[in-house]
Amino acid sequence: MIKLVLQRIVMGLATLVFVSGIVFVSVEALPGDSCTAYLGRLASGQRLENCRQDFGIERPALIRYAEWTTGALKGDLGISMKRNKPISDIIGNRLRNTLLLGLSATLIGVPLALFLGIIAGLWRDRRPDLWISMIAIIAMTIPEFVNATLLILVFSIWLGWVPGIVTTPPNAPMIEFLSDIILPVAALALVMTAHILRMVRTSVINVMGSDYIQMAILKGVPYWRMVFKHVLPNALLPTINLVALTIAWLLGGVVVIEVVFNYPGLGRLTIDAISDRDLALVQAIALLLAAVYIGLNLFADLLTLVANPRLRTMRR
Amino acid sequence: MNTTPPLIEVKDLSIGFDNHAGDTLPILRNIDLTLYPGETIGLVGESGCGKSTLALAMMGFLKPPLRVLNGVSLFKGQDMFSLSDSELESIRGGDLALIPQNAGQSLTPTMRIGKQIIEALRLHTNLPKEQWYARAVELLTQVRLPEPEILLARYPHELSGGQQQRGAVAMALAAEPDVLLLDEPTTGLDVTTQAHVLELLRTLALETGTAMVYVSHDLGAIAQVCDQVVVMYAGEIVFSGTANQVLKRPVHPYARGLLSSIPRLKDAVVPPSMPGQPPAPGGVGKGCAFVDRCSMAEHRCYEERPALEVTAKSELVRCHFYQKIDQLPPVEMPTRRESNIADQADILLNLDQVAISYTKPRILDQILGKQSKAPATVDRIDLKIARGETIGLVGESGSGKSTILRAIAGLITPVNGTIKFDSSENLNQIVDKRSKDVLRRIQMIFQNPDSSLNPRHTVAEILAQPLKLYFGLQGQELRDRTEALLNRVRLRTDYLERLPSQLSGGEKQRVAIARAFAAAPDLVLCDEVTSALDVSVQAAVLELLTELQGERFTTYIFVSHDLSVVRAVADRVAVLYLGRLCETGPSENVFGIPSHPYTEALLGAVLEPDPDVRPKLVAEDILELSPPTTGCPFQRRCSRRIGKVCDQEVPPWQMTMDGHEIACHIPLRELRALQEKKA
Amino acid sequence: MNMKLENFAKSRGVFASLYKVLADMLSRPSGKLGLSLVCFHIILAIISPAITPYDFKVMDADLILKGPSALHWLGTDNLGRDILSRTMLGGRQALMVTIIATFLAIAWGGMLGVLLGLIGGWIENSILRLVDAFLSIPWILFLLLIVSVIGLGNAVLIPTLAFFYGIPVVRMSRAATHDVVALDYITAARARGESRVTIVRKELLPNVLDILLVEGAMRWSWMLLAFSSLSFLGFGVAPPAADWGLMISGSRSYMAIAPLAVLAPVVALSTLIIGINLSADALAKALGIDRAQKAPV
């Protein structure tokens, strides 16, 4: 099994390298280069020349790619054009803030989703399921920015319980963010929970209809014992991967949420970077986010490997 | 037996469901059944007769949307359908245990076998915790599983089919139940494995005195295990009696027809079939359910539903005219195949040292030109098939019989040897490289009628395809031909616009046959074409194939694991084990003495629907996945193994008479003596 | 419906079978509601320019942030524009872009997936890895980047959305192809000697199409989500166009005073997406498909 684990890790790393290539190539493929993008209308003549020289743009792509990737491994992601600072400095705090957001949402959302999903699956088509599913579907179909906006409207403007827009500066210590993150986490968690819940529900329903559960019933296994020992291990197993995928997908949602709440995280930075056409920054963020995604997937893969008896005993 | 109270009493039980239109469709009608301690009852019937539903109902279990329409099912005096959940939980798996149909799918995949067995002990016995493990080992030993300690730690998917089934038996026996319910427990198992598992069940029944209800469509299996047999049709009990009574002299016309349609090893004939098919739920009129198919049917049968009557011999029959059963003409003379073995010199297909391999050599090896070290899936196949004959390819799973068919069909190419068609065409090519004429002349029919017809094509479209492809037919001509084909396979013209989902299994197979014959082929490859069909339907399909052969002088290669079916249709037989030929020859010789030890094992494992005939278990019940690299393929399981020569040298072909060859190291005379002694 | 009509419908090509599928969908409550919502929005999008009471661009300084009145049923926004009119028009571009992009996504994703499923071997595996790698890149980032560098406009949005949302379709269509190819009727066709093209066209596609259709419906709803998110962020439709996403984003700052400016587009957008989801659900049931819930990538 060690072999399988190593295989997966290697594949993950390979994918990351591959992705870095895609990111780099895509940025290169865009018309113009970092300097023309950044300078926009002012991109001409001496200004353009200086920019190119300062940032080493005129060197061949392959060299810049190599430099970029090797730098990334060491933690040096290049220089931001707009702010004229090393990117790693800029990203540092933002990453921390976004992680705070994302982790909180996950820690609340996933267990909640599992719990609700299992209930919905076990009580399929009856009252608990109808309510849970309806709310989940509504949460799933409404765009995140709508969710977030509505939350602000209700809880911040009408009820005044929590602040709506974040004003804390990005490099403030984490403690100061705690009251700020309540609504954003709620918005993120809502969507996350809804998606995961539905998947868990489907999985539970599938397992409940299987032959071995029918056998367990006919063997006289009491209901709750059956649920915990026979249903859940089989229902939750396939969801591990799906959960990871969902979490990763929601990385995209973080961008929108941060904009709505003006939260100083990686997402808002992305928007700013794109608005500024600061391509080096955008590239770096893309790579970072991809790395997180791949890491999450790898983790899920390995977790599944360990938990699924069929995969563990593949040698037989 | 009648003084002790019965364990199970089913009284006037009717079960059904409501369809979309609001009608109530019955699945079971007025079932009365009693099971006493120590009895073994077999519930027999074809698909749709309700036997599985009945067995589950005895446990108080109904698959939604079924519901009880009336009647009760008692276990030790308690009505299973009015018990509370906890009462049911204590009975199920405890005093009343189920051995499921497909153990592989009925065992929880994420739990080790040991845990699942111990769960039964925990729930249903008072055994103290420390003794659980030991008892589990004891149980696995009781079901004849070797190395129980190792198996207990394994997961279900790591066990073979036979091992899984035995594990399920062990789990059911854990609480020493009073009654065992067995729902087709040997479906899907290999012939030899099946025989072993049945022998185990029979011995257990004798040893422990547990009462059993054995549900099956296989009368041969029932004959081995049950004293009493109950025949079901369209949700009713139509006939019941002792095993001898039911299997040897059935007085109900359906039971009679059913038994006659089972091919027997000793008869080289296609058994007669009953016309029509069982009614769908809700499709029975006010009269007898069997009326549409019964040759004795009179006016009364259409009007009045017969009640169960007791005969002079204490059998139960549901028929108005059962006393006249003997007046029926003896069941239709079975279709005797014309012995059209034809001129053995007119060879249509010649396989010469054919070897086929599924494992592709790795790219690196290919570049270096290295041969794959693993033994080929199929090897050393020499076979000459004469025009117009039917040759049976026999073997269990892994024997390579389907692989050979696929190579002949061009879906896979041999890695060695040649296949010559009509002495001129080289069939070593894949489909894409063959000429249209060759493609037309070789057609294939598949095992599973559900997946061999495109669910989105109508029957007309399915039949039109070969006609368009090979003959370029269009328009009215096309339409006429498809109609003619359909009628030839005895399906009405209005079936043309139907979709496969609207046909029964037997009807779908007929369409598949029609499709194959649309091309007017010389050679038809039949890959287990009746294995997925009910017995009575099987007979009808075999009859059809035989007729078509008589008309068109077609050559068949008939692959099957069922020896009785092969005996009924094949002129010559080739026996395969792990991809190598063991024996070839005319069927009466191959099925006689002397025969290859593997053939002997296969023949011994055949379950005759005759309670007096016990199978002879010759070979060990071991699962083998790949052939040994040297020597005889059967070396590890052969009970007649003579020594190292079997392991190291490929056995030579020995000929008994023209055309009958056995690949064995044992000299034929000795083999014959050994096998005659046993018999 | 009697069997003859059923079979006639099913065997006479896509259009007739469409009739049967629609009939089935309408027999379910989810289908009824879903299809009505979708149809309502599509019709609204088509005819709204003709029926809006006011021109969406007209700004009237006197009418800023007025509440609902007889003249302006939903009130006015911060630039004096009529909210009702803007809401009625708000879905036009969204619908047009997403319908076209969904169609393209299913078309190219479906075709590539089927091709991969048929080719097999190392080509299939390596392209699959490529696909997985692409899935690792957060879509929003790329969409935003491309739009920001190349510019706004349908010519950019449609292909970009179609590209990104087609990628997961490749995986799904490949899996469906694999499942079908394993079945005997495909082997039978091959054994008969039917050409590869015929097999794909006649045997494979009809069976894969069902799944693609349901997938298409789901994709459409996600694409709408993405599109409105983009306009919300300012990377979709350019102001002063009337678009729901843009409207929500623009009215946020004065939500407390004029909630309708936000709520109207919210309701409009949500009802459309819910309608699509319900229809997709009913479609799946009508086609008899077991809908595996996947991550909405």
Which of these, C297, A259, C186, lies nearest to B455 by C-alpha position? C186
Give the integer Cα–Cα distance in Å for A261 and A165. 5
Query: Which of A6-10, B48-52, B362-366 bottoms out in mean pLDDT, i.e. has the lowest?
Result: B362-366
Q: Is B595 helix (H, G, I), strand (E, B) or coil?
A: coil
Q: Do B94 and A220 touch (CB under 8 A)?
A: yes
Whether residue B11 has pLDDT greater than 90: yes
Query: How far, in Å, are B5, B62, B72 from residue B76 at the CA level?
Result: 8, 19, 12
Maximum Cα–Cα distance across chain A: 84
Query: Which of B491-495, C178-182, C239-243 bottoms out in mean pLDDT, i.e. has the lowest?
Result: C239-243
Contacts 24+ apart (CB under 8 A), B277-281: B277/B504, B277/B506, B277/B537, B278/B46, B278/B48, B278/B49, B278/B233, B278/B234, B279/B234, B280/B48, B281/B16, B281/B17, B281/B25, B281/B26, B281/B27, B281/B48, B281/B235
pLDDT at B359: 67
pLDDT at A41: 67
pLDDT at B281: 80
Q: What is the CB neighbour count within 10 angstroms for residue B76? A: 15
Helix C121-136 / helix A2-29 crossing angle, nearest 10 deg: 70
Q: Do C139 and A142 touch (CB under 8 A)?
A: no
Strands across the sheet containing B211-216: B96-99, B179-183, B211-216, B40-44, B228-233, B236-242, B316-317, B309-310
pLDDT at A176: 72
| Token pair 């003409």 in the structure block, residue | B329
Average pLDDT in chain A: 81
pLDDT of A247-268, one tens digit each?
777 777 788 888 888 888 888 8
Residue C285: pLDDT band (50, 70, 90) is confident
Give the integer Cα–Cα distance in Å for B188 and B470. 37
Q: For A94, which DSSP code? A: H
pLDDT at B365: 57
- The predicted model gives A163-191 an average pLDDT of 79
C295 lies within 8 A of chain A by CB: yes
Distance from CA of A305 to the nearest CA of C (A): 19
Q: Do A215 and B98 touch (CB under 8 A)?
A: yes
Spatial contact of B253 and B288, defined as CB atoms under 8 Å apart: no
**Which residues contact residue A307 at a Cβ distance below 8 angstroms, ignoring those fewer than 6 apart?**
A233, A237, A240
Helices (H), B31-160: 51-58, 85-91, 103-106, 113-124, 132-142, 148-152
Give the integer Cα–Cα distance in Å for C275 and B130. 60
Distance from CA of A234 to the nearest CA of B (A): 7
Chain A neighbours among C 179-218 (CB < 8 Å)? Answer: none
pLDDT at C296: 35
Spatial contact of C163 and A314, defined as CB atoms under 8 Å apart: no
Which of these, C85, C93, C89, lies nearest to C58 by C-alpha position? C85
Q: Where are the beta strands (DSSP E) in chain C?
A: none
Q: Which of A206, A207, A217, A219 to mutate to test the interface with B (most CBs of B within 10 A)?
A: A219
pLDDT at B178: 92
Global ipTM:
0.84
Q: Higher-confidence residue: B624 or B110?
A: B110
Give the integer Cα–Cα distance in Å for A227 and B236. 36
Q: Higher-confidence residue: A89 or B351?
A: B351
Give the integer Cα–Cα distance in Å for C34 and C221. 12
Q: Do B110 and A214 touch (CB under 8 A)?
A: no
Residue C63: pLDDT band (50, 70, 90) is low
Query: Which of B108-117, B184-193, B610-619 bottoms out in mean pLDDT, i.e. has the lowest?
Result: B610-619
pLDDT at B339: 54
pLDDT of B601-641, one tens digit each?
888 888 888 888 888 777 777 777 778 888 888 888 888 88
Q: Do C190 and B431 touch (CB under 8 A)?
A: yes
pLDDT at C17: 67
Q: For B267, which DSSP code? A: -
Spatial contact of C289 and C214, defined as CB atoms under 8 Å apart: yes
List chains adjacent to chain C, taking adjacency as at least 3 C-beta pairs closer than 8 Å: A, B
Give the integer Cα–Cα distance in Å for B108 and A217. 12
Q: Do C138 and A245 touch (CB under 8 A)?
A: no
Q: Do B155 and A218 touch (CB under 8 A)?
A: no
CA B249 from chain centre, in angstroms, equals 24
pLDDT at B566: 92
Q: Do A219 and B98 touch (CB under 8 A)?
A: yes
pLDDT of B416-436, one tens digit each?
888 988 877 788 888 888 888
Residue B371: pLDDT band (50, 70, 90) is low
Q: Is C152 helix (H, G, I), strand (E, B) or coil?
A: coil
Backbone angles phi and psi of A258, in degrees to 5 = -65, -35
Distance from CA of A231 to the nearest CA of B (A): 9
Give the integer Cα–Cα distance in Å for B51 and B231. 9
A240 lies within 8 A of chain B by CB: no
pLDDT at A316: 36
Average pLDDT in chain B: 87
Q: Select, from the ranges A52-56, B510-514, B531-535, C114-118, the one with the highest average predicted confidence (pLDDT).
A: B510-514
Spatial contact of B166 and B144, defined as CB atoms under 8 Å apart: yes
Query: Which of A31-45, A207-221, B59-73, B227-241 bottoms out in mean pLDDT, i.e. has the lowest?
Result: A31-45
Which tokens belong to B392? 């049976």
| Token pair 């560098």 in the structure block, residue | C149
List chains adjacent to chain B, taking adjacency as at least 3 C-beta pairs closer than 8 Å: A, C
Q: Higher-confidence residue: C289 or B56?
A: B56
Share of chain B above pLDDT 90, in %: 38
pLDDT at B367: 58
CA B637 from chain centre, in angstroms, equals 23
Q: For A229, which DSSP code? A: I
Q: Is B479 helix (H, G, I), strand (E, B) or coil?
A: helix
Which residues in chain B touch residue C201, judged by CB atoms under 8 angstroms apart?
Answer: none
Residue A315: pLDDT band (50, 70, 90) is very low
Q: Do B111 and A220 touch (CB under 8 A)?
A: no
Q: Do B109 and A234 touch (CB under 8 A)?
A: yes
Of C184, C194, C203, the CB nearest to B469: C194
Q: Is B273 helix (H, G, I), strand (E, B) or coil?
A: coil
Spatial contact of A192 and A110, defined as CB atoms under 8 Å apart: yes
Whether residue B230 has pLDDT greater than 50: yes
pLDDT of B81-100, one tens digit each?
999 999 999 999 889 999 99
Q: Higher-confidence residue: B551 or A270?
A: B551
Residue of A nearest to C136 (CA): A290
Give the integer Cα–Cα distance in Å for B604 and B224. 13
Distance from CA of A249 to the nearest CA of B (A): 29
Whether residue C291 has pLDDT greater than 70: no
Give the integer Cα–Cα distance in Å for A157 and A151. 9
Q: Which of A23, A145, A159, A281 to mutate to test the interface with C (most CBs of C within 10 A)?
A: A145
Q: Do A218 and B100 touch (CB under 8 A)?
A: yes
Give the integer Cα–Cα distance in Å for B458 and C54. 55
Q: For B583, which DSSP code? A: E
Whether the pTM exceeds 0.95: the reply is no
Spatial contact of B458 and C11, defined as CB atoms under 8 Å apart: yes
Q: Do C11 and B452 touch (CB under 8 A)?
A: no
Tell me which amino acid residue C163 is: F
Which residues in chain A touch residue C267, judged by CB atoms under 8 angstroms apart?
Answer: none
Distance from CA of A28 to the nearest CA of C (A): 11
Spatial contact of B95 and B23, defined as CB atoms under 8 Å apart: no
Residue B370: pLDDT band (50, 70, 90) is low
Q: Which helix (H) or strand (E) holds B96?
A: strand B96-99
Spatial contact of C172 and C215, defined as CB atoms under 8 Å apart: yes
Q: Which helix (H) or strand (E) holds B388?
A: none
Q: Is C109 helix (H, G, I), strand (E, B) or coil?
A: helix
Of A30, A140, A252, the CB nearest to C149: A30
Q: Which helix (H) or strand (E) holds C215?
A: helix C205-233
